[in-house]
Structure 1
């Protein structure tokens, strides 16, 4: 019992000093061949993914006929056959979801210009792949590029911008006077519901309503309106083209539904697509949200500090490395150099790590555990100060800025 009364003291937290190197020094530490894009290699990865998807699809076509067969039913009993049939579909959804996510990652590479030296190749393939997975390619590419250019800036980042004490209406009182339970006293069941809602709906909600995006954008900001604040006049035609891609998918899915029935379309395509949304949100949320990662205001922010404010994770082990093209295992290097092809990530990360040392963040916490922990621990940041860390449901951080960056406040 005694330990639970240990008084929280900000002075005892590990210190953090933002990195001082200019980007060109960091880039010079990485061999130039790591930046070379190989279109043929990229296309081979794309073909591999398409072949995997087609193979999974053709195996899934056999699931229902096989378990509906009289011999199988007599061996397994009708109930047993039905149970195993559901398990078979679950396996298909898991792997096809990962394969589709890998395809989405290749579309994302195209959006960064990392897939090929040829813009037309990047945009043609990226447009088709992302439209097929319900992502407006050009519109998302534009806002995603701005996210990369401003990552971890409180004022300018596009996504995962932390809420402040003020946003949540938490008074600036000494800690013991605030009823933290009243503010954050959600039951674990409600937290789980909110987390599942985030996992399945966050990406469509971001595209449609700017949920978790920059707070000072106007109310109806979204990725489908060519006149949105997200886009310049010159980008409007690209936004319309993205919308045409999505409209083509609406038509395709409607037509497939009239041909094969809604249940078939949902089973073969709908559920794996929902898995893409889940994996993609989980990957990006966990890259940018962790109590050890800083956020910056004003002059303390620069591009390389923002790039280092991400975390590499051992995401689903070999499955994450193989199916997801290392996107989660080697994300920090991608933030420093978004045009670097994913297949150079593992090698280039060794050089980056050797150069930036403990500014490089890696976590081997199992990802579902990390998702639950960070969803609970990362609640808000302070209203003032230029180097900020997330605080939990008791208003406590696990890291603090070095003295020259601190804002002294009551009760800390």
Structure 2
């Protein structure tokens, strides 16, 4: 908890947000979603898994067989999309919405995260921290902005990493996330969680080592770069961009624990982007994100119906914006540091960012 109340000089926009938050106190948000939508259909989940696995595998095979280097870039994009789709399947596994079988969820989750070399249990537990504390300035694990005063006291290399991953190297944000939590059982305080993480590492580390060593033996360092490293980076680009955009907007505050509430974190602090239909299919409705935060147990193929139910129950509250190239650009251009004065953002130059609406 901060020593003084933060923000120190909240304006009308912050007070308006807090009024919306207060109106949700005591609400059971999940009752707005029909119970039937919580029931997973394992066959449908496996179909999604198969689609993404096929897209990733065919793209990698295309890279191997491509007669010329100029075919690599589109295949890298497709491999990244296939790998991101696999991550989205692991996302359902981690929330138990892929299948009623915890064992099947664990098996599929481990396989789906192999292209990222991300131990499934490490990702699952750190991601659940994000769900428990969405847009909490002190406790969220995803894309939490650093207060300007803290940024000024960082070591030079910490500032360099932070500023890069909030701007030109945003794609490295999820790589940093992976480095911090992926292979460190000690990152998780509970002994039972650390044991699960160690078991995941015991699967992912040898499997990843065999994959990398095999690529070096069969195709040399060039094969490793074009068939694994660049697709791995492409998956992280999808990962970072999607996560950053969901929870960053000029009019979405990060809240200290003094002001944060669970219902605000679930319903008010996410921006959903309306994807083209084919992209929704290949990313398993990951962009339908407010309904997911309200009810993580809803399987990905039922999220559009759950979102419609929330829109009906809470008119004008669910934030949706059509996906445009500028959607990411304006975040990278302006939303850099937490402004402790008004509770929103400021740029690296210290200019406050007006909390203008980015979606409704």
**Same fold judged by TM-score > 0.5?**
yes
Distance 2:140 2:116 in 1: 25
Selected match of 1:196 from 147, 151, 168: 168
Distance 1:192 1:120, change over 3 A: closer
Give a deviation string over 1:266-316, Cα, whole Å, max 9, x none.
22332222110010000001111111212222343222201220110134x
Q: Where do residues 252-267 of structure 1 align in structure 2 (5 Å cutoff)?
A: 252-267=211-226
Distance 1:377 1:25 in 2: 35
Aligned 8 A contact 1:378 1:391 in 2: yes
Q: Equivalent residue for 1:373? A: 330
Q: Work out whether 1:240 is the aligned partner of 2:198.
A: yes
Distance 2:291 2:261 in 1: 16
Distance 1:58 1:234 in 2: 39
Q: Equivalent residue for 2:345? A: 390
Aligned 8 A contact 1:131 1:242 in 2: no
Indicate the SS of the match to 1:383: coil
Distance 2:221 2:141 in 1: 35
Selected match of 1:149 from 108, 132, 135: 132
Distance 1:46 1:97 in 2: 15
Distance 1:355 1:289 in 2: 24
Rg larger for:
1
Shift of 1:384: 6.3
Give the number of equivalent residue pairs: 333
Aligned 8 A contact 1:15 1:399 in 2: no
Selected match of 2:176 from 190, 205, 223: 205
Distance 2:101 2:13 in 1: 52
Q: Work out whether 1:128 is the aligned partner of 2:102.
A: no
Aligned 8 A contact 2:252 2:355 in 1: no
Q: Equivalent residue for 2:56? A: 53
Indicate the SS of the match to 1:155: coil
Q: Where do residues 260-339 of structure 1 align in structure 2 (5 Å cutoff)?
A: 260-307=219-266, 308-315=268-275, 317-328=276-287, 330-339=288-297
Selected match of 1:36 from 26, 36, 39: 39
Indicate the SS of the match to 1:358: coil
Selected match of 1:93 from 72, 76, 95: 76
Indicate the SS of the match to 1:312: strand
What is the Cα-based RMSD across aligned positions, in Å? 2.7
Shift of 1:390: 2.3
Shift of 1:258: 0.9
Distance 1:399 1:382 in 2: 15
Distance 1:379 1:92, change over 3 A: closer
Selected match of 1:341 from 286, 299, 305: 299
Q: Equivalent residue for 2:89? A: 106
Indicate the SS of the match to 1:167: helix
Shift of 1:35: 1.0
Q: Equivalent residue for 1:138? A: 121
After TM superposition, what 4+ stretches of structure 1 lie above 4 angstroms from structure 2?
A: 9-14, 191-194
Distance 1:196 1:376, change over 3 A: closer
Distance 1:119 1:354, change over 3 A: same
Indicate the SS of the match to 1:313: strand
| Structure 1 residue runs without a partner (length 5+) | 1-8, 65-84, 171-190, 210-221, 401-412
Distance 1:377 1:14, change over 3 A: farther
Distance 2:136 2:14 in 1: 23
